[in-house]
Structure 1
Amino acid sequence: MDSGNLAWSVAATALVLFMTPGVAFFYGGLVKAKSVVSMMMMSFGALALVGVLWVLYGFNMSAVESPWAFAGNPFSDFGLANADSDTLVGATYGATFAIITVALISGAIADRAKFGAWMIFAGIWATLVYFPVAAWVWGGGWVMSLGETFGFSTSVIDYAGGTAVHINAGAAALGLALVLGKRIGFQKGIQKPHNVPLVLLGASILWFGWFGFNAGAEGTFGLLGTPDSSVGLIVVNTLGATAAAIIGWLIVEKFKDGKATSVGAASGAVAGLVAITPSCANLTPGWALLLGVVAGAVCALAVELKWKLGYDDSLDVVGIHLVGGLIGTIYLGFFATETGLFLGGGWEQLVLQVVAAIGVLLYSFVAAWVIGFAVEKTIGFRIKNEDELAGVDTVVHGEEGYLLADRT
């Protein structure tokens, strides 16, 4: 890797790592004031634990020699003792994806989860779900090889994580939300964000970091600056789709609720970022703008599903990440440059995108439900009702997010 690619790879890695504190701020602002520490700690806990597990064995599991292997050998280079410098840079970049995927799940169980139980779930889920799925999608596994398996002329497109990150996290969030059950007083309007500026700050950090998320691979894999590099397309799509999604969300929100809100703008931005993640290198800018509008509008409607279907996804991980990930992944089947159904291709791309998305969704959902159920039935995952009413922060962490006056 030359010096320019190396420098960008390190910078992109830092950008993506910064996204997990962005998630912490985004989620932290959305919850009650007496839950903000707990919410942010789940992101920081994921950062710490998954970072360690990835270095020890997760990176080894993220590549396979056979398309039908479950995962790589975790002990093939335990602790990355023998990896060269370029490999270590790539491994660190990959770690940031693993970390944020786990952190995203936590939004579904806000206000009611034990921190220790969350950490146990995070470690097991990362090991049994994220590390293998990363191998399936990017490391030579069945998703990456699906086109060849079907005898198609194309392959699954997931440039930066529509399946491996967002569908994966969103499906796990749904499974875990079902295990923990509903918050006390669950109904529409149960709570309002306690700190809207914090929500906007978190969304802004996510958008900032997402340029490393989407364009980072162009340096990590030694492609930045080459004549056929798609980095220009990637960055303009990351800007355009996200901006368009804000508009799509706000339009729906205005018609639905009568007001366009700043939280809606932040949520729309995240929905657009989610949708463009798998498709950033395979859509022309115009189709990326359309994707953004569609993702923003549909996700604005999808977040209402929890009230109709009765699952308590506290911070709309399902409505934004699962639905947005599905939209961005399947949209490629219609509009991917040259291979999409409406742009010169046949049905092959669409079939591949749907099979990959559904496969990852089902595996992640079932695994998260089983792991969460096991944790709940052994050490307990959900805090007591009286502790939920008192506030997770003081009960679990012995801290308060805000001390507005001297109480002594």
Structure 2
Amino acid sequence: MKIEKRWIVSFIVISVVAIAGLFWQPSPDTPEVLSQFGTTDQINAADVAWMLTASCLVLLMTPGLSFFYGGMVGKKNVISTMLQSFICLGVVTLIWIVVGFSLAFGEPLGFYIDGQFYSVIGNPLSFPFFDHVGVLPHLKMASSIPFLLFALFQMKFAIITPAIITGSFAERVRFISYLLFICLFTLLIYAPLCHSVWHPNGILGTYFGVKDFAGGTVVHMSAGFAALAGALVLGKRKNSSHIPTNIPFVLLGTGMLWFGWFGFNAGSTLAANGTAALAFATTTTASAAAMLTWIFFERLNGRKVSALGACVGAVVGLVAITPAAGYVTIPQSIFFGFITAIVSNKVLNAKIMKKIDDTLDVFACHGIGGIMGMILTAIFAQGENASLLHGGWGVFSHHMMALVLVSVFTFVGSLILFKVTNVFIPLRVSEEAEQQGLDLSQHDESLDQHKAEPVGILNLIHEKP
């Protein structure tokens, strides 16, 4: 069997990373480095317990997403679609440890505006291989939990973001080219955006005052616009109509996502406190409101109430409340879910979206949900001069400017990355492979796969007389 060079290169890369990790020598703890950290006495046991739990919950969301997406596609592409989400647990984890966390939360690199320093990305040499990422709390980013726990919690966000994108080009993407794309996306789109919003010196969080409690901008807008770019670059499927294979998979995935989202949003407080409880409450309330709004709105438009629609509506509500989970009241979260479900539904069913083969409507759900969440956060966020309704006219205008910047950066940036990926490895499978289905053509597996021939002692048990 002839092995393609791209797979040889991939194996060499993982080999180099593994060997480098074996011989990696941490840099010395200089006074400058030590000054960033507190002592173990400052660690709060309750916060640690909650953040360990929250990190597990967020990790669960990626397998949940794989079931959510896997149940929606055609029978020939269930395994490949689920694997595209699941593989992010491996790829992004290693990227994050080696250099991704440094790019997102490392020493700020940027420029001065009116004497104030603002950064756009972290120094890749700050925390390579989690250097200096240990049990001590970081005074500016995570003052009551080990810095290592903060890094692991943030890693789960980085994992699920490229996984969300996969729904837009399901049933037609080449697996190895997809792996290259998610590496480039994590390093060049996600990490800079994460740094700009959540790092203490990040330009979007400080200069523009962007409020993103748990990732509406960083995760869902970036994934939504990248998904739109991917759908445009890869083009339409040869057969763009399919019957979802397994609605129970979609229901299971939605339940796992909803469950995990409590860690996603409530965990973003980085503490076991009242704000975490508020985020927990607004998260489930917005999702409940969006789910009901979606199915009622579908019925008003002459479509039957469906389990698939209820699941999509619930996820849209979760997306919408994410940037505002700890900033708004519970009654306001009902409106977040309600209005976002209507807008997202209208976009999903718009004629222009029908011309774009976004297989699982990622942009309409995550992109539009993230946009609506960002706008509504800028209108309703609590606190003096925190939003439009609380005297923060400047905050609102800056949010709108940031919305445009993020949209352009993530869409154009992803478009370029898809094009670059396609130069090195064709993104789209052949027409024959697409017709056969990606499960068989890419992975030699299928839902109808017969049991493998028994081996060893089993040969004797199953041997015909």
The normalised TM-score by structure 2 is 0.81
Are 1:165 and 2:211 matched, yes or no?
no
Deviation at 1:45, TM superposition (A): 1.6
Partner of 2:172: 112
Q: 244-253 or 298-307: which moved more? A: 298-307
Partner of 2:207: 146
Are 1:384 and 2:430 matched, yes or no?
yes
Q: Identify which of 350, 371, 385 aligns with 1:305.
A: 350
Q: Matches of 2:219 and 2:176 in 1, distance apart? A: 23
Q: Is the 8 A contact 1:248 1:295 kept in 2?
A: no
SS at match of 2:189: helix
Change (3 A) 1:382 1:287: same
Partner of 1:136: 196
Are 1:224 and 2:272 matched, yes or no?
yes
Deviation at 1:306, TM superposition (A): 6.4
Q: Matches of 1:118 and 1:302 in 2, distance apart? A: 27
Q: Matches of 1:344 and 1:333 in 2, distance apart? A: 10
Q: Is the 8 A contact 1:332 1:340 kept in 2?
A: no
Q: Identify which of 323, 331, 346 aligns with 2:376.
A: 331
Are 1:76 and 2:129 matched, yes or no?
no
Deviation at 1:385, TM superposition (A): 1.1
Partner of 1:20: 62
Deviation at 1:309, TM superposition (A): 5.7
Partner of 2:51: 9
Are 1:373 and 2:419 matched, yes or no?
yes
SS at match of 1:91: helix
Alignment-mate amino acid for residue 87 of structure 1:
F
Higher relative contact order, structure no. (Cα contacts within 8 Å, ≥ 6 residues apart): 1
Change (3 A) 1:405 1:264: farther
SS at match of 1:178: helix
SS at match of 1:71: strand
Q: Matches of 1:314 and 1:114 in 2, distance apart? A: 15
Q: Matches of 2:431 and 2:51 in 1, distance apart? A: 46
The normalised TM-score by structure 1 is 0.92
% identical aligned pairs = 36
Q: Matches of 1:94 and 1:306 in 2, distance apart? A: 37
SS at match of 1:70: strand
Q: Which runs of 5+ in 2 are unaligned?
A: 1-42, 111-116, 136-145, 455-465
Q: Matches of 1:7 and 1:333 in 2, distance apart? A: 32
RMSD: 1.9
Q: Matches of 2:196 and 2:339 in 1, distance apart? A: 28
Deviation at 1:47, TM superposition (A): 1.6
Q: Is the 8 A contact 2:101 2:127 kept in 1?
A: no
Change (3 A) 1:307 1:142: same
Q: Is the 8 A contact 1:306 1:312 kept in 2?
A: no
Q: 331-340 or 386-395: which moved more? A: 331-340
Q: Is the 8 A contact 1:62 1:134 kept in 2?
A: yes
After superposition, residues 152-191 of structure 1 pair within 5 angstroms as 155-186=209-240, 190-191=241-242
Change (3 A) 1:383 1:7: same
Q: Is the 8 A contact 1:121 1:372 kept in 2?
A: yes
Q: Matches of 1:83 and 1:313 in 2, distance apart? A: 39
Partner of 1:152: none
Alignment-mate amino acid for residue 115 of structure 1:
F
SS at match of 1:343: helix
SS at match of 1:69: strand
Q: Which runs of 5+ in 1 are unaligned?
A: 148-154
Q: Matches of 1:99 and 1:353 in 2, distance apart? A: 26
Partner of 1:272: 317
